[in-house]
A and B are shown apart, each in its own frame.
Chain A
Amino acid sequence: MQDTETQLNTLTKKIAHQQILMDAHGFILESTDTIFSTFPQRHRPVMEWSPFIESIFPVLINLDLDTPEIFIPRVEFKSNGVISYYDCSFLCIEWNGIQPTIVWNIFENTEDIEKIQQEQQSINDNRLRDEL
């Protein structure tokens, strides 16, 4: 019974999702702003405030319309001392005649990753104890 409840909770859990559209220069064209507000940053390229995007932008601007979606899991972001984890994906599309438009999907995953972190910490601590 409990397992079924857990499964139902998992299935019905709402995953926060944000979608950001960027042009070839890294400026935001549109954003759902459902996880964080991009409004204060709209006047400058994303690479100027996100080292994560800066580090992969040369890859993103070379995506083609037929390139499969790129999935980068478990990216840690720190804001005001609070750590959050997001799964990210990237895709190239044509949007309102703008090509390339880079789609950046962000899925909030902090709760699950924190559980995994605790389990992994325990596994690694035990392995280290055995080795030393």
Chain B
Amino acid sequence: MISKKVILTGSFGVGKTSLFNRFIYQQFSDKYMTTIGVKVNKKEITADGEEVSMLLWDIAGELSQDKVPASYFLGASGIIYVVDLSRPSTFENMVTDVEYLSHLLPDSSLIIVANKLDLLSEEQLENIQQSVAQKWNFATSAKTGENVEDMFIELAKKLIANHW
């Protein structure tokens, strides 16, 4: 089994902890609790016939990624950058944040996630998709669980491909 450190990052209130809790505990709470610092937990999943132990770092949301302590990123093989589909402000720094993260961890696998899919209609989703400069890889809902497992499996596949 391979073990990989994965960072969940993005602005505050976008649902990083909810994605963390959905993936690890299959739980969801509507109550918003600000994350301070970092919490770490792990989950083992299988992708492409390989077992991967994902060591997830759920870190406090920051308006821009250069505010996150650089030491949090040490040794990370995967990054999940999360934005909130219901809050356009969380898209504002997406391009610069993704550039920053790609520069900081050039060998890591990066996935961009647009969360809170349950709050939008299909038409609204299409409109947002056309208006943003940086496209996301997955639109998810931590509330309903939609695409959450698929997103983590896709990341696991990327981690496996990068490992070998």
Contact = CB atoms under 8 A, between A and B. Distances in A.
Interface residues of B, number: 27
B72 to A, nearest CB: 7
B87 interface: yes
Contacts of A131: 87, 89
Contacts of A132: 86-87
Contacts of B38: 72, 74-76
Contacts of B74: 56, 59, 70, 72
B106 interface: no
B41 interface: yes
A58 B36 contact: no
Contact of B3 (A54, A72, A85, A117): A54
A70 B36 contact: no
Contacts of B3: 54-55
Contacts of A120: 34, 36, 60
Interface in B6-44: 12-13, 32-34, 36-42
B36 A75 contact: no
Interface string B55-83: 10100110000000101101100000000
Interface stretch (A6-14, A26-34, A95-103, A121-129): A121-129
B143 interface: no
Contacts of A52: 40
A75 B87 contact: no
A116 interface: yes
13 contacts: A54-B42, A58-B75, A70-B71, A70-B74, A72-B74, A74-B36, A74-B38, A75-B38, A76-B39, A124-B12, A124-B34, A127-B12, A128-B87
List of 6 A-B pairs having minimum Cβ-Cβ separation, nearest first: A74-B37, A55-B55, A59-B75, A76-B39, A55-B5, A52-B40
